[in-house]
Every structure is written in structure tokens, then in C-alpha cells.
Structure 1
Amino acid sequence: MMIRAIPTLVYHHERVSTRQVLTNRPGRTPSILDLPRETLELIHAHLISTPTQWLHVHYPNDLAACTTACLRLVCWRWAEWLYVNHLYHGLKFDNASRSNEFIAYQRSRSELLPHAKCQHLVIGRIWTTREAPTGDVGLQDMITSEILENLLDLFPTTILTLDLQFVDHPSLPIGNIQAIKRIESLRELHLNLSPTSVGNQPTTPTDPEFFNALIVAAQGIKSLVLGIPISLDYEPEPGMWGDRPYPAITHLHVNMLFQRTIDILRLSIAFKPSLKVLSVQANEQEGREDLIDRLFQLGFTHEGFENLGVRMSRIGRVYELLKESLEGLSISSSHILRDNIFTQAPIEILAINAQAAFDQCDPMFFGNPLAHLPKLKKLVFMNAPADYSAPPKFLEACEALDVQCVYIDHYQMPLIMVSLLFLMQFSSPFNVPIGTIPPKGIISIKG
């Protein structure tokens, strides 16, 4: 059986005046303006998404902003609904002048008018630790602490994701930290570096006092992405900074370019009571493997690791630790299937890259490529074009084993695997949306 999970939305749009819609005369032919709000939301999501990211748009997004602005011209009801819920859904600011203009515009709107909702806010080129230089063109017009606070206070009840990108040494005054604390809806916090034309980047670790004060202030966050250097020179108490509790962070993403192994371990310990997914980005191999060993020693065996790169020779060892829970496997290349690592594994859903299935399947397999997966129920081909059909060897294998063959036009595994306990992925870094992390976490190993 084959299922193509690419939606097609068909609707009738009759030209009617706003007056006609409002009068709602008996016998009037319904139009798109009469559709339920939930259906309009689905249509809007379809129009602003790309073919490979259906219903999972990354913000800020130029296509989404342009499409939303055009749809506002349909009628006043759409204009109001789209302004409030979608026009400023994702925003990015990286210069002072544009930021000040936007702040002034929002403040000038009447209190009687609906206010826009921003859920994803990116603020780049932040310079807060000292007076910004005036002679260097690459460091002019940057975001100050005052501008940052004003931007945050525009959307204190709607921001879900906040991405702060620093030019100089990452630090924020207490006023900015309190502004972040006031964002009651915040669930995901990113702390990154903001590249400039002069290449200034901090080389010294972020002050742990600032880091901890910021994290404990953001009590609602579930995901923390660290792209700045963090150094903890002490052994943290799990879940606590002194007498103040850390937020219940379930997903921690770190970069070994900035963090030492010991600091990643200490961060993991600090958030251990709630941590389910640890994502480690790195190019250096030995450091990652050493990190795996030390994390296992600390009791993180089944707490969920993501993107911990290991050599193929190490995959079997990791699998032995997880084989009782492993139910899902996502890979970018099909060569892993020719090995006996996952023989008799209870994997029920296998997701592979659609193009890789063609590039690697025929020259590699002489028999059934799914022979080692007796409990497999679904074979998913990710990022499949509309006219895609799986290689004959996979189709024959699915028919022989009564496996369902599914095509999807994206890589967003949580959309189809929210019920899985563990996910293993051997491709690009996997971003785990808030709310879809399974109870026991996710493991994704990049090889």
C-alpha cells in the first residue's frame, strides 16, 4: 500500500462584496469568506510553506510575510485577522534605525486597534557591554540594550522563540533580563553570535553569573540553544543555581566549537532533572565520542541524545544501550541497512532520504533491503517530489513484507512520529519542535 502525504487544497473563491458577506442573505452562494477560521488557517499555512516544509515554516520567512500582506487585500476581515495573527508572526531586527522605526509605529497605533502577535523574534547585532564604536562602518547602527528592551516589551504575551545574537562579549543589563522574564509565553531561547563585516567575535567565555541569571529568569523555556562560549568553573547542583531553580529545560543544544567537553557535561548536569534531548554540534570526532562515554557514565543512557556523531564502528555499542526502546530510525543513506547492526530490532518506522534511496539502493543491495527489520510497519521516503516513486527493490520489499510505503515532502519527522520513544537520525541536525518530544526523549546520531 502506498500513501502520498502531500496535501492538495481545493476551494472555490467567488467574487462577492464585503456588504454582501455581512448581510448574509438567505440563498446566497457561500464563498471562501464563509469558511471556518480553522480552515482559513490551514489554507494560509499551505500558501506560505515551501514544497519540502509543508506546515512547518521557519520564521522569520520572506515568503510568509509577502503572502500574508497580499492576502490582507481580500477584505477588511482578512486584513484584521492576518494583521493580528500572521503579518508579524516572525520578525528579525539587526539595526537600530529600523528597530526604532518599528517601535515608534507600534506605539503610535490606537489602543482600540488590534495589536500584532509576534511568536518568533530574532534580534541580531546586539552590542550592550560598552559604548558602540562610531568609526567602524561594520559596527555602526547596532542594537543597544534600550532598543532590545523596547522590542521585547512590544510582545510580552506572544513570543515563543527568542533568538539573541551578540556582536561583542555576550552580556545583558538587568533591565533586559527583566524584560525577558516578563515574556510569559517564551518557550525557546537561542543565544548566538552575530557576525559582522569586521569579523569581531568574542573569544572569552560568557560570564556564568550573567548566563545563570538569564536562564533562571526565563522560567518558561523548554529549549535552550547555545551558540556562544559558556564556561562553568564549578560543579552545578542538578536543577538549581544556588537557591533558585532552573527552568524545566527538556532540549539543550550546544556547539563544541565554543564549549569544552567538561562544560557540556556541567550544563547537562545542571538541567538533568528535566533534560530529555541533548543535541551536540561538532566537527571534531574524538571529542564527541569521549563526550558520549562520559555522559553514559553520568547516567544519561536513556535520557535522549541528539546529533552525537559516532563512527560506524560505535553505532552497535550505542544500539546495545537503546535496543529495548528503539522503535524508529531515520537515515540519510541506505547503506546502513546492509549491515547487521539492527538485526531483529523492534523498529516499526524507517525513514530514508528519497534521493539517497535511488543513488545507493541499486548498486548496494542484491536481496531484500528490509530483511533485517522483521517488525517494520512503515517505510517513509523523506523530501519526495510530487511525482516520486520508490526504487523497485524497495517497492518489492514492502509488498513482500506487507510494509506500508509513505511519501512525504519534508524532513520534519515529528510530524509523523510523535508517538515514537526514540528516533535515530544519520543526517543533518534535527530541530525538535517544542511539544513533540516523546516521554523518554529522542536519540539522533549523526554519522
Structure 2
Amino acid sequence: MANILDLPDEVLDIIFEYLVSAELAYNLTASLNERRRCARSTTINLRLVCRKWADWFYIHHLYDALLFPAKNAYRKSTLIQNLTERSPSLAWPKCRVLSVFHMRPPAKFYRLRTRTTKDKKEQRPKNAWDILESLVELFAHSLNELDMIFLDFVSLPLGTIEAIGRIRNLRVLRLGIHWAIGTMFTRVAVKCGPAETRPDSPCLRSLIIAAQNLKRLDLEHLHPVVLSSTIGSDLANYQLPAITQLDLGVDWECSLDGFVSLAAALKPTLKVLTLHGNSRDYGRKVKPIFEILRETLEGISVYSEQVLTQVLDFEFPKLRVFATQFWMGCICELLTQKMFSYAPIEIIALDEGAAEYRMKRSLPFDPFANKPKLRRLILSDSSDYDYHEPPPKPIRSACKAHGIEIIKLARNRGISEMMAL
């Protein structure tokens, strides 16, 4: 007689995802890392059911996401040794996401570090770069996302960059710099020298060139001052991966010329742009990025209304999905702007908290009258208590009249998830 232990792998995966989602059902503000930790704890509990499940969850979920600070990288040596000694006849565990934080720069700041030596006594990696390289090589068959947060400089050994280039299905690369509060400009802009003398741009260039299957480049936590204004032209003579999504942080009081240059280099394949943070100059420095990409963008996500006001009079002939967290005006006012007049818009995402005050009032006119392709209105919310409350009646009536589906999503859902709906 069949029982739960005989379930197909596909069904077991569905059950697993349901258990993780149920655990986080009332935590709409849960970060991606919190979800990963929840998934790991669920995996550990389910492995206790029986030997069959223990083996299956070991392979498919136990190491699905590995996150650790560089100072604790040595703790992964045991994992590396166990995997290295694992019998080739046994199925290999999978890791989709690898995240390393607080990676220290090489001794010589302005050069890409060459491969380091091994500990002769124990014959195993002895620093964070070697640990990272070993993990990349061990999970090259399954890795999809790689996150690296550095201290002061984006710099990697050449051997590590080459290993990253051998990851067959690397789709997402996230790079950032961490520094103590109050030392941002002292350490990065002054003591560490101008962008042209730093290793960040050459390292980023090498990573982009190496990762030929890359689809998303996330630089939300990378300070733009570290990128040279010529990084785009430096990439011109190389075959670039077909990157379709670029994430940038714009909450900086400095030039964004490096970001502008990079956007120009990625324009041939770029379809989605996400801008995080509040622009401190009312979006003026961000405007050149939109001027370069407006003809090709299919998805735009902006956090700040200040950034949005700079591009409302732009035409986006391919724009299908638009998301913003802060738009304090009426939805009617938003959809009459020029940026939507010539766009085949299909999905609009607004923050429910910002939009609710306006939506409760009667709409002055039908906001969807000239939007024949619009099929979904997403209301993002971080409130655990109001998640199941229906939207205000005026907006519900307008959506119903045009067959537009209203969806509520947690605020931490990204535009890539919205575009997949």
C-alpha cells in the first residue's frame, strides 16, 4: 500500500515549498535571507522522518543556499573535505545560492590578487578566497546565484574569477561593498584613491566577461564612486553575456557616471532596470540612464517618486511592467503621464500603503480607459494584518470593468517575479 514515503520527487518539492510558505505566511516583511533560513530549518526537520527523506533533502535542499561571512569561511573546510571525499557513485548535493560577506581586499589594493598558496600541513584552503573558489568548483553544476559583499574593494584572485566563469548556469551576480557607518567617503573616496586607480572596475569587467550565461547583474549595494566612468567602453571589445536585468542603488551623493557607462554597454540586451533608494538630487543624475535605455526597457522598478518625476515625460515603447513604492498621487494622474501613453503596459505595481489614501476617494475618471493591454494591478504591502483586506471599492470597480486582476504581494517581491506572472 502506497504511503507518504512513496511520493514522487515533484510532489515532495511542492509540499516543501508549501511548508516554507506557510511558515512565513504572516511575515510579509521577511527578507530573502530569512526565507532561506526558514527553508534550511524545514529541511533539517524533514530529514528526520526517514532515511529516504534524509538522503533526498540532503541532495536537493540542505545546501540550497550557503551564506557566511568571510571571517568564518574556514568553517566550510569540513564541508569541502566531506564533499571531496564523497563517493562518485553517490548523487551530488545541490547549491543554488552562494553568498559570502565582508570579504577583505588583497594586500595590494589596486591589483587583482593571484592565486594563494595552500596550507601545506593540512592541504586545505586557508582563506576566504580559496574557500569561495573551492565551493564554486564543487557546486559549479548547480549554482544559479552568487552574492559577494566586500570590505572597501571589489577584488578577487584571478583563479577565483576563472572558477566563477566555469559555473554553467550562473544567472544572478550580486556585488556590493560594506563599510562602517560614518566612514563611507573617508575610506572609499579619499584614502582608497580615485576609481581609475582602484581594482573594482577591472574586477567587475573580468567577472562580467567570465560569466557568459549571466542574466541579472545586481549592484544595489555597490557605491558608484568606485566604478570608473570608462567601464562601459572598457567592455566594448569583449563578448558580453546577454544580461537582461540591472539593479542599481541611487541613494548616493556622488557622480553616477560609472553606472551610466555600464548601462550603455549592456543596452543591447538589457530589458529590466531596478533603481533602489531615494535619489538625493531629485533624480537628475539618474535621468541619463533612462535616456540611454528607454527604447529597450520592458520593466522598470523605482523606489523613489523623485526619480520617477524625472522620466514621466519619456516615451517607453516596450514598457510592459512598472513598479514603484512611493507614488502619493492618484492612479489616474499616474496613468495619464506620457511614459504610459505609448507603452504596451500589462502590469502596474503600487505600494498599497502609499496609494490607499487616494484610492479610497472616488476616481475622477476611468484610469484604465486607454490601457487595453493592462491585465494586472499589483498592490504591494508590508502589513501582516491588512494583507487579506480587499482594496478600496473605487479601484475594485474600475478593475472589474476592464477585467483587470488585482493581486496583493509582499513588498519584498521583485520585479522579476512580477514579470513572470
Structure 2-normalised TM-score? 0.74
> Which is further off, 247-256 or 212-221?
247-256
Matched position secondary structure for 1:408: strand
Higher relative contact order (CA 8 A, sep 6+): 1
Q: Deviations over 1:11-37 (max 9, x none)?
A: xxxxxxxxxxxxxxxxx2x43333332
Partner AA of 1:91 in structure 2: L
Q: How does 1:211-290 map to 2 (within 5 A)?
A: 211-226=204-219, 227-229=221-223, 230-234=226-230, 236-237=232-233, 240-242=235-237, 244-256=238-250, 257=252, 260-286=255-281, 288-290=283-285
Matched position secondary structure for 2:281: helix
Which one of 76, 80, 94 corresponds to residue 51 of structure 2?
Answer: 76
Say yes or no: does 1:163 pair with 2:147: yes
Name 1:124's counterpart in structure 2. 101
Structure 1 residue 109 displacement after superposition? 3.1
Q: Deviations over 1:242-277 (max 9, x none)?
A: 3x3122211122234397322112111221221222
Partner AA of 1:410 in structure 2: A
Q: Deviations over 1:284-323 (max 9, x none)?
A: 343632431x3455464443554274549936x635513x
> Which is further off, 177-186 or 324-333?
324-333
After superposition, the Cα gap between the structure-2 partners of 1:380 and 1:41, relative to the gap in structure 1 and judged at 3 Å, is same
Partner AA of 1:231 in structure 2: L
After superposition, the Cα gap between the structure-2 partners of 1:336 and 1:328, relative to the gap in structure 1 and judged at 3 Å, is farther
Structure 2: which 5+ residue stretches go unaligned? Answer: 110-125
Contact residue 337 and residue 370 of structure 1 kept, 8 A: no
Say yes or no: does 1:33 pair with 2:15: no
After superposition, the Cα gap between the structure-2 partners of 1:258 and 1:220, relative to the gap in structure 1 and judged at 3 Å, is farther
Name 1:176's counterpart in structure 2. 160
Matched position secondary structure for 2:207: helix
Matches of 1:176 and 1:106, distance apart in 2: 19
Structure 1 residue 120 displacement after superposition? 0.5
Matches of 2:308 and 2:57, distance apart in 1: 52
Say yes or no: does 1:153 pair with 2:125: no
Contact residue 357 and residue 391 of structure 1 kept, 8 A: no
Contact residue 222 and residue 248 of structure 1 kept, 8 A: yes
Say yes or no: does 1:46 pair with 2:41: no
After superposition, the Cα gap between the structure-2 partners of 1:100 and 1:225, relative to the gap in structure 1 and judged at 3 Å, is same
Contact residue 221 and residue 248 of structure 1 kept, 8 A: yes
> Which is further off, 260-269 or 275-284?
275-284
Structure 1 residue 127 displacement after superposition? 2.3
After superposition, the Cα gap between the structure-2 partners of 1:306 and 1:71, relative to the gap in structure 1 and judged at 3 Å, is same
After superposition, the Cα gap between the structure-2 partners of 1:214 and 1:357, relative to the gap in structure 1 and judged at 3 Å, is closer
Matches of 1:312 and 1:358, distance apart in 2: 21
Matches of 1:99 and 1:245, distance apart in 2: 34
Which one of 73, 85, 88 corresponds to residue 96 of structure 1?
Answer: 73
Contact residue 325 and residue 350 of structure 2 kept, 8 A: yes
Matches of 1:411 and 1:330, distance apart in 2: 11
Q: Deviations over 1:64-112 (max 9, x none)?
A: 1010111112222222221111111111121133222332333343333
- Structure of higher CA gyration radius: 1
After superposition, the Cα gap between the structure-2 partners of 1:68 and 1:196, relative to the gap in structure 1 and judged at 3 Å, is farther
Matched position secondary structure for 2:333: coil
Contact residue 52 and residue 410 of structure 1 kept, 8 A: no
Matched position secondary structure for 2:153: coil
Contact residue 51 and residue 409 of structure 1 kept, 8 A: no
Q: Deviations over 1:313-369 (max 9, x none)?
A: 936x635513x555555454675336534249575555444555655543xx1x247
Contact residue 163 and residue 190 of structure 1 kept, 8 A: yes
Name 2:113's counterpart in structure 1. none
Name 2:410's counterpart in structure 1. 410
After superposition, the Cα gap between the structure-2 partners of 1:80 and 1:42, relative to the gap in structure 1 and judged at 3 Å, is same
Partner AA of 1:216 in structure 2: I
Structure 1 residue 151 displacement after superposition? 2.2
Matches of 2:297 and 2:19, distance apart in 1: 38
Matched position secondary structure for 1:432: helix
Matches of 2:292 and 2:321, distance apart in 1: 25
Structure 1 residue 217 displacement after superposition? 1.1
After superposition, the Cα gap between the structure-2 partners of 1:437 and 1:303, relative to the gap in structure 1 and judged at 3 Å, is farther
Partner AA of 1:103 in structure 2: I
Matches of 1:291 and 1:387, distance apart in 2: 36
Name 2:40's counterpart in structure 1. 65
Contact residue 205 and residue 231 of structure 2 kept, 8 A: no
Structure 1-normalised TM-score? 0.70
Matches of 1:120 and 1:403, distance apart in 2: 38
Which one of 269, 282, 286 corresponds to residue 291 of structure 1?
Answer: 286
After superposition, the Cα gap between the structure-2 partners of 1:236 and 1:62, relative to the gap in structure 1 and judged at 3 Å, is closer
Matches of 1:299 and 1:406, distance apart in 2: 29
